[in-house]
Structures are given as C-alpha cells and as structure tokens.
Amino acid sequence: MTVQLARGGRLVTAAVAAALLLASCGGDSDTGSTNGGGGGDTTFVTGLASQPEMLVRSFTSDAITATVGLAIAEGLVRTTKDKEVVPALAQSWDISDDGLSYTFHLRQGVTWHDGEPFTSADVVFSFQEVLPLSPTGAVLTGTIDTVTAPDDATVVVTLKQPLAPLLLALGPQDFSIQPAHIYEGTDLLANPNNRAPVGTGPYVFDSWSGDTITLTANKDYWDGAPAIGRLVYKVIPDSNSRANALLNGEIDYINKFDVDDTIVKALDGNDEITLQNGRVSATFMTMWLNQNEEPLGDPEVRKALFMALDRDLMAQSADPEFTQPATGSFPIGLWATDTGIDYLDMYGYDSDAAAALLDEAGYPEQGDGTRFTVRLRYVATQPYTQALAAIIADNWRAIGVETEPTQDEATVNSSAVFTDHDFGTNILSLDTRPDPEFGIGRVYKCNPNDLAFNNPTGYCNEELDALFVEAARTQDQPQRAEIYAQAQAIIAEELPAITLLQMDQPDAIRSSFNGIEEFLSGALSGDLTWSALEP
C-alpha cells in the first residue's frame, strides 16, 4: 500500500503593521528586520497561562511546550481534526502487507534552522535515542524491531508485531524529529537545545527572556515562509488578564489548554473574537490517586471518594457549554468507548453511600468527626482546577475526609507527582488523543520508569497492560473495541485514576485574521497550520 499526498497551495504573504501588538511584546514598527527576511511584518502574540517546561515536545507531554515548540519542530506526519494522517517530513510511505514494515520517503531539500541538511540520519537518531525518553514513546520502543536508513532520503521501520495506530504516533506531539548533529554524544534531557531549539518547522527560535518567547519566520521553510513574520508568546497567568488582553488586542490567540470558563464567558458573543472547538480530541480532567499513600491503596476507599464527588456541580462551575461529567475512562463519542460503562450510574453522587462504604472498609469517623486526611495537588493555572479543588474539599469534608490542597506551578507539580511521587491525589487535564493507545493507556499502564505525564500512582495490573498491548496489535477496529471494553471494565472496578470531567475547550483567536479554519485544522492542541494564517 502506498500513500502519497500532493503539497497544498500556498497563501499569499501579507505585510500589515500592528503597532499595539508590537508594543505589547517589546518590539518596534520595523519587525521585518528581525525575521531574517522570512514572512511578513506582522507580529502574532499568544497568551500562555504559565511558563513551558522547555521548548522540545519530544521530552514532555506539557501542552504549553507543544503550543510553542511545534511551531519549530515537525514530525514525519501530521493528523488533521478529521483524524486523517497527512505528510510532513515524510513525503510518502509504503506499508507492507503484513503491517510489519514501514518505508518512509523523506522530503528533499529540507534544512535545519542552523543550515545543516535534514537526512535519514536524524530520523534514525530520533527513533533510537530520542523516542525512549518520550512520555508517550513506550508503546513504540517496545514494538519497533529495527530502524534503518538505506540512503539519506529513506527510513525503514520494522516492527516486532503490528501496531494499528503507528502513523498516529509519528506526528509532532509524540515524535518530533530532532537534529542528530546537536544531540549526539550529549545528555539529551539536559541539552541547551531544549530551551533554544533548532528545528525544521516554519518558525525559528529567536529568544526566551523572562516571560516572553520570540520566534521568527523561517525564510527557507520547505513549504514557503509563513505570512506572519514573528510569533511572540507572553505568559499571563491570570485568566481575566488573558481574556482582557485578547479583547484589547494586546494578544491575538489563546490555545485551548489555556482557555477556561472565565475566558469563555468574557469572550463569548464578541464578534472580534472567534471561539472554535471540536478541533482536537476530548480532554479529561483526571484525578490520580497515589496508591502508596494510605488509605488510597484500597479500591473501596477510592470508590467511596469518587461517589462523594458532585460532578454535575463541577461541570456547572466550569462551563456547561463545553464541559460535562465524564462517564468512564474513555471519552463519550470515541469509537472504542464501551457505552455499557457509566460512572454516573456506577458511582453516582451519594454522600451517604460513600460514608457507609468507608465504614465497611474500616475507616469510621473518629471523635472529631474525621476519618483521615487526603493531600490534593493541582496546577493552579490549568482551567477549572481551583474551582474543582474547592468542590472536592467540600464534598470530602461531608463524609469526614479532610483535604490538604496545594496549588503548584506546572513544573513544580510535574516534579512532585511524576518524579518524587509526593502527592496523595492530583488533578490534571489530559488530552485523550485520537487513539486510546496514546492518550488513555498512559493513565493506567504500569510505569516503572516514572515517565512524566504517565501513570504516577504505583498501580500496576499486568492483565490490564496485556489488554492494551493486544488492542494495539489488532488491526480490525471492531475487534480492538472489544478488547478495550475489557480494559474499561477493569479500570471501572479498580479506579486507579478518576475521570471527573470531559471538556471540549475552544481555541480563542482574534477574528481579524484570515485562514483561521485551516490554522486550527490540526488534530492536537499545539499542532497549528501556520502556513494558513494571514493578517
């Protein structure tokens, strides 16, 4: 089977100065002189809720890293919001009849931002050295047998067994190709390139100073220089301030992961702002429970804590237009979701039943009316987390469980939860991705290497892991759905993690730009079609 897609048409470059925007990011009216001759003179400003961990998505699942970094780096392919896989650094590919061999034909004439040629050696290096360090790379590293390069323009990937969603895993969110000449012989996770990356994408890293990151148009980009000459990313932690900045024209765009109910309510109905949702997979607000911290290791305790939570109130406190209570470990509407499992029925909000279950589990109320205390961590800048933390504390207090909430910066939370396991419970929004293997499996699979944004709870069920492996190897989608149904039944019974809300947050962008629909056509949050956007 051969897949070949032709390159799309180019949009005309425009040059429009935006004095207010330039002033907001510390620039001047002569922005064309700062972008190396690529693109136009316009500056496009994105508001971020917090600092990214780094700018290389290969080593983190941080959504803010993707928002910035995927303007710089690229994968072999991309996935559209219609779940269609299309070429990127791989111009075409052949798949053997047995599904065990993929031959990628690389795009010719591509150069890294430092002028070095992009070749198959970079792809092989990324498979062999970068991928094992990716939070979502375990399924690929365990499945790939060999990666070879017959010549500079060809890469052959041979699998130990078929992997149905392989191509979906080779997009920039999970597999950004990295330059071998910069990373070889270094500590990849400590390499300075992670904060000042060299990529092949439409924008070139310029600077990172304090709360401002600047990129400039790549005049040598293989698909032509983008129309917007400069990208500026400004950290604005407060939701109201981000909304006002967009309304006032100080910024132009807020990525969906940084859009919460405060922003939606402030912007909804304003003709100058476009709110567009449905671009990416559903997002879960997920609660992880550390099963090495008593009494959370007891599944009956986890069930009781879940039953004590008023998820309808949570959805109302967020934004009911874009948010609803989660009904299971797989999102509503996904082809693999078992509709026979409904958390709202199995673990419906019932404080009395939750209290009785804790009594039965051996955790009665003490003389002061409390049973035990649970630590709760969350990233304060993520949408809805502060409101959810308050509801959780109130709901659990009603059954005699006290809560110690801790507001974290994103990097502090990541280290505490995924490296140090210094948490009782932690709430975090997670993209479910187009295939369960990548967005959902990481929440529940064994995680002996403590990969960030993968299961940090200590829960490890070999039967469940085997089901995820079997589903990934199975080519027939209905058969895969049957296997995933078995996995969902185990998760529903043991609740190693709890899905609280399913969210379909919108991107928010100023309506004055052209090409917004295509700009927001990527399947994943940070994968934006910069070639489509025009002043």
Residue 267 token pair: 């912007």
Rounded Cα distance between 262 and 386, Å, is 12
Q: What is the pLDDT of residues 15-34, one digit of tens each?
A: 223 333 333 333 333 333 33
DSSP string covering 442-502? HHHS--TT--TTS--S----HHHHHHHHHHHH---HHHHHHHHHHHHHHHHHH-SEEEEEE
Name the architecture of domain 283-503: Roll (3.10)
List the chain domain ranges: 39-72+201-279+505-534, 74-180, 283-503
Vertex 488: Cα angle to 440 and 298 (nearest 5): 95
Give 9's DSSP letter: P
pLDDT number for residue 337:
96
Helix H or strand E segment including 408: strand 401-408
Listed residue (141, 107, 110) closest to 126, CA to CA: 141
Q: Is 292 helix (H, G, I), strand (E, B) or coil?
A: coil
Instruction: Give per-residue burial for 239-270: e unless 16+ CB within 10 Å, then b.
Output: beebbebbbeebbbbbbbbbbbbbbbebbeee
Hey, which bits of 265-384 come out as E strands?
273-276, 283-289, 323-325, 372-379
Output phi, psi for 269, to 5 deg.
85, -5
Superfamily of domain 39-72+201-279+505-534 in CATH is Periplasmic binding protein-like II (3.40.190.10)
Which of 3.30.70.1880, 3.30.342.10, 3.40.50.2300, 3.90.76.10 would CATH assign to domain 74-180? Answer: 3.90.76.10
pLDDT number for residue 10:
27
Listed residue (377, 356, 350) closest to 290, CA to CA: 377
Whole-structure pTM value: 0.75
Residue 248's contacts (CB-CB under 8 Å, 6 or more residues apart) are none
Instruction: Give per-residue burial for 381-393: e unless 16+ CB within 10 Å, then b.
Output: bbbbbbbbbebbb
Q: What is the pLDDT of residues 197-220, one digit of tens each?
A: 999 999 999 999 999 999 999 999
Under 8 Å between Cβ of 284 and 420:
no
Q: How many helices (H) and strands (E) does the chain have?
A: 18, 20
pLDDT number for residue 279:
64
Rg (CA), the chain: 23
pLDDT number for residue 136:
73
How far is residue 343 from each of residues 325, 327, 338, measured CA to CA in Å? 9, 5, 11
Rounded Cα distance between 373 and 363, Å, is 11
Below-70 pLDDT ranges, the chain? 1-39, 278-280
